[in-house]
């Protein structure tokens, strides 16, 4: 049994949260370059170092990881390939927990370095734009620390209602009608007069497929007909609600989707399942597919919203966030992210204004006795 140990560093590195394992980086570099010298060049290391480390790891783990054949490109053994993909899949599946751990540590250090910094705790559906927003908020001009805990859209709003955060991020299908699953899911969680919606972004969701789209999947009907292996999202996530809504619109029973019960915890985990060959297709966002070298077939446009209690609008942290969202720098950066567009970013909106399926009637006054 091999033990796992962790460590963390302090610095200004803006890379995504990741538990670093140098062995996996070595294997990835060899697989992509086809040689030890190519791997060393990619990693900025010496040939001798890479060779020695691979030999050391093979001895430590008791398995060969590289196939060495004279005159042939170096390639991973079956064990090496399985090890690399297993670690990458674990990283993707654990991304929300890794991000939460980093958020806890960064909040502590943010206050330690500047106890006047504004700290805003947010539960939100996993989103590439929020990660970019978190980095921009760290700039000295904003003095805002976004403590983002990624969860499903439904769970995020529940966390807001239970007082576990100051803001929640959730997404809804554009054009959903008054009899939609979207309305039935979110309306019971939101209350006029108590909650306010803040505009954030418009984004595209679609099918994440292998490069070249080998199964020629262009719709959910194609997914059903081909019996492609599907990677779904868990209950409580906005993407699961979206999938179920799209299946209803297409007249496809959930049992006709091969892998409907195979769930992953984030867009990144869905993309990794496709990249590793564990699944043929999944529903997710364009930015995540592109980031892993996969193809993307757009299916639906969504609005990504931020929700807070009306009473929180005047807090310094929320005011700082609204200023950031309204800024030209943020909106221009968002527009460069694959599959995203600004959508009333930073504007405080009524629910009936931004959720077209929302309707309610004020109670009629009682008739006089």
349 falls within a domain: yes
367 falls within a domain: no
In this prediction, residues 178-188 reach a mean pLDDT of 90
Q: What is the pLDDT of residue 16?
A: 55
Please state the domain count of the chain.
2
Are residues 187 and 71 part of one domain?
Answer: no
Task: Give the chain's radius of gyration (CA, Å).
Answer: 23
pLDDT of 103 > 70? The answer is: no
Q: Which tens digits make up the pLDDT trace of 287-337? A: 999 988 999 999 999 999 999 999 999 899 999 999 999 999 999 999 899
Among 106-110, 226-230, 359-363, the minimum mean pLDDT is found in: 359-363
Segments forming the whole domain that contains residue 34? 22-93
Name the pairing type of β-strands 230-233 and 263-264. Answer: parallel
11 falls within a domain: no
260 falls within a domain: yes
5 falls within a domain: no
Closest by Cα among 86, 95, 97, 43 to 61: 86
Q: Is 264 helix (H, G, I), strand (E, B) or coil?
A: strand
Are residues 303 and 192 part of one domain?
Answer: yes
Are residues 107 and 87 part of one domain?
Answer: no
Q: How far apart are CA 188 and CA 62, in angstroms?
A: 56
Contact (CB, 8 A) for 326 and 189: no
Token code pair at residue 36: 């030890």
Q: What is the pLDDT of residue 346?
A: 95
Q: Which tens digits make up the pLDDT trace of 13-26? A: 555 556 677 888 88
pTM of the predicted model as reported, rounded to 2 decimal places: 0.74
Q: Which tens digits make up the pLDDT trace of 26-66? A: 888 888 888 888 888 888 889 888 888 888 888 888 888 88
Q: Which tens digits make up the pLDDT trace of 75-96? A: 888 888 888 878 877 777 777 6
Token code pair at residue 210: 């292998």
Are residues 148 and 56 part of one domain?
Answer: no
Q: Which tens digits make up the pLDDT trace of 137-169? A: 877 777 788 888 888 999 999 999 999 999 999
Q: What is the pLDDT of residue 368?
A: 45
Token code pair at residue 43: 């990693």
**Domain end point (choices 75, 93, 111):** 93
No. of helices (H) and no. of strands (E), the chain: 15, 12
Name the pairing type of β-strands 167-173 and 118-124. Answer: parallel
């Amino acid at each position: 049994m091999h033990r796992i140990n962790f460590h963390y560093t302090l610095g200004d590195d803006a890379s995504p949260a990741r538990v670093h394992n140098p062995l996996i980086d070595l294997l990835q570099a060899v697989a992509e370059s086809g040689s030890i010298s190519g791997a060393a060049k990619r990693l900025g290391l010496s040939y001798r170092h890479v060779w020695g480390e691979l030999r050391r790891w093979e001895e430590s783990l008791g398995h060969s990881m590289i196939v060495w054949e004279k005159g042939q490109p170096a390639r991973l053994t079956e064990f090496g390939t399985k090890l690399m993909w297993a670690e990458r899949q674990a990283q993707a599946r654990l991304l929300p927990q890794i991000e939460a751990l980093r958020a806890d540590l960064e909040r502590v250090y943010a206050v330690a370095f500047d106890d006047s910094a504004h700290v805003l705790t947010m539960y939100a559906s996993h989103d590439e734009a929020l990660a970019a927003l978190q980095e921009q908020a760290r700039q000295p001009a904003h003095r805002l620390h976004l403590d983002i805990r990624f969860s499903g859209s439904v769970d995020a709003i529940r966390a807001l209602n239970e007082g576990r955060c100051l803001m929640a991020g959730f997404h809804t299908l554009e054009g959903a009608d008054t009899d939609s699953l979207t309305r039935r899911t979110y309306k019971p969680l939101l209350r006029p007069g108590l909650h306010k919606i803040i505009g954030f972004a418009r984004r595209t969701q679609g099918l994440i497929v292998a490069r070249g789209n080998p199964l020629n999947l262009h719709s959910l009907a194609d997914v059903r007909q081909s019996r492609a292996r599907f990677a779904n999202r868990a209950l409580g996530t906005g993407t699961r609600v979206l999938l179920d809504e799209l299946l209803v619109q297409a007249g496809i029973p959930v049992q006709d989707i091969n892998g409907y019960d195979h769930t992953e915890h984030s867009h990144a985990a869905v993309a990794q399942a496709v990249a590793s060959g564990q699944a043929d297709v999944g529903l997710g966002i364009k930015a995540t597919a592109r980031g892993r070298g996969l193809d993307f077939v757009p299916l639906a446009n969504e609005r990504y919203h931020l929700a807070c209690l009306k009473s929180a609008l005047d807090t310094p942290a929320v005011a700082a966030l609204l200023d950031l969202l309204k800024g030209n720098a943020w909106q221009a950066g968002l527009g460069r992210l694959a599959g995203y567009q600004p959508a009333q970013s930073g504007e405080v909106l009524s629910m009936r204004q931004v959720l077209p399926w929302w309707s309610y009637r004020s109670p009629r006054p009682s008739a006089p006795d």
